[in-house]
C-alpha cells in the first residue's frame, strides 16, 4: 500500500504555459515541491544544480527535445525517475522514450488523477530503492566471502576466484537487489553505462560464470537466476 503522505521534489518540464500552471498547482496541492523548466536546456541545468525525486518531462520542447534531455540525464548516471508526458501516442514513440531511460510514459490528453497516481508510485518506488541497506565492500554468502574492492572471492576451503571489474560490479548490483529481479536496462546503466550496449548473451555469459564460480550445481542454480523476458536475480 502506498503512503498517502508521500511528498517529493519534482522537476516539471513543460513549455505549454497553461498546462504547466495546471500541473504545478495540482502537484503542489498534493504536497509536492515543484521546480519549473520550460526548455530542454533549463531542465538539464536544473538536474545539475538540484536533487529531484521525479522529473515530469514533455517531449516537444524548445532548444532540446525531451528524449535528448532524458538520454543526457542517464548518461550522467543520474537515476532520478522520469515520467514522460507527450501527445506522441504511437507505440514506437513510447518504446523510444522508455529505451532512452524514461521510467513511465503517459499520453496527452491524460486524466489528472492518473498522472498523480503514477507520480506517487514512481516516487514511492524510488524512495524504497534509496532506503535499501547498502552493502559493504565485503559480503559473505553460502561458503564464499566476496571482496568487491579487491575483485576476488574466497571459498571456505581457501580457493580464490579472481573477478573482472565488471564481474565485481554486476555481482554487487545483484546482491544489493537480493531476491528482486534486476532488469537488463538497469544492468546496462549501472555496469556498462549507456555508451556501450552489450547484447543479452553477454550478460547471460556473466551469469553463467557466476554459476561456475559459486554454485554447487550450475545446471540447477540456487543463487543466480535468469528470469526470462525480465532480467536476473540473486537469492542468498
Can you give the CATH number for the domain in which 13 is found? 3.40.50.2300
Please give the DSSP secondary-structure letter assigned to residue 155: E
Q: Is residue 3 part of a domain?
A: no
Query: What's the pLDDT tens digit per position in 47-83?
Result: 887 878 899 999 999 999 999 999 998 887 678 899 9
Confidence label for 200 from pLDDT (cuts 50, 70 and 90): low
Is residue 119 a part of any domain in this protein? yes
Choosing from 100, 130, 160, the residue where a domain stops is 130
Which of 94, 110, 130 delimits the end of a domain?
A: 130
pLDDT band at 1 (very low <50, low <70, confident <90, very high): very low
Strand partners, 34: 10
Which residue among 77, 105, 130 closes a domain?
130
Same domain as 166, residue 98: no
Q: Are residues 24 and 112 in the same domain?
A: yes
For the cut 60, the answer to whether the pLDDT of residue 180 exceeds it is: yes
User: Is the domain of 97 the same as that of 146?
Assistant: no
Name the grid cell of 156.
571456505
What percent of the chain has a predicted confidence (pLDDT) above 90?
A: 59
Sheet-wide strand order for 144-147: 138-141, 144-147, 152-155, 160-162
Query: Does any domain span residue 4?
Result: no
Three cell numbers written together for 223: 543463487
Three-state SS for 1? coil
Q: Looking at the domain assignment, is residue 225 inside a domain?
A: yes
Which of these ranges, 77-86, 128-137, 199-208, has the smallest mean pLDDT?
128-137
φ, ψ of residue 52 in degrees (nearest 5): -125, 150
pLDDT per position as a tens digit, 68-78: 999 998 887 67
- Supply the range of the domain harboring residue 102: 9-130
pLDDT of 4 > 60? The answer is no
Is residue 110 one of the residues assigned to a domain? yes
Instruction: Residue 43: name the closest of 15, 19, 79, 16 by CA.
Output: 15
CATH number of the domain at 161, please. Answer: 1.10.10.10
Residues 78 and 159 in one domain: no
Amino acid at each position: 500500500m502506498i503512503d498517502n503522505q508521500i511528498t517529493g521534489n519534482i522537476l516539471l518540464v513543460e513549455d505549454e504555459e497553461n498546462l504547466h500552471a495546471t500541473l504545478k498547482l495540482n502537484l503542489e496541492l498534493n504536497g509536492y515541491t515543484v521546480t519549473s523548466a520550460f526548455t530542454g536546456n533549463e531542465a538539464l541545468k536544473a538536474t545539475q544544480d538540484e536533487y529531484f525525486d521525479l522529473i515530469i518531462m514533455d517531449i516537444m520542447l524548445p532548444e532540446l527535445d525531451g528524449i535528448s534531455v532524458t538520454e543526457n540525464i542517464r548518461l550522467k548516471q543520474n537515476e532520478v525517475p522520469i515520467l514522460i508526458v507527450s501527445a506522441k501516442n504511437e507505440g514506437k514513440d513510447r518504446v523510444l522514450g522508455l529505451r532512452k531511460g524514461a521510467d513511465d510514459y503517459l499520453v496527452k490528453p491524460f486524466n489528472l488523477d492518473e498522472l498523480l497516481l503514477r507520480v506517487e508510485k514512481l516516487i514511492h518506488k524510488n524512495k524504497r530503492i534509496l532506503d535499501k541497506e547498502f552493502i559493504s565492500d565485503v559480503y559473505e554468502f553460502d561458503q564464499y566471502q566476496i571482496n568487491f574492492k579487491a575483485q576476488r572471492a574466497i571459498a571456505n576451503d581457501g580457493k580464490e576466484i579472481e573477478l573482472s571489474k565488471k564481474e565485481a560490479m554486476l555481482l554487487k548490483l545483484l546482491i544489493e537487489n537480493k531476491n528482486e529481479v534486476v532488469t537488463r536496462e538497469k544492468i546496462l546503466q549501472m555496469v556498462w553505462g549507456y555508451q556501450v550496449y552489450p547484447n543479452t548473451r553477454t550478460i547471460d555469459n556473466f551469469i553463467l560464470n557466476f554459476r561456475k564460480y559459486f554454485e554447487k550445481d550450475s545446471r540447477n542454480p540456487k543463487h543466480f537466476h535468469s528470469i526470462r523476458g525480465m532480467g536476473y536475480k540473486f537469492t542468498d
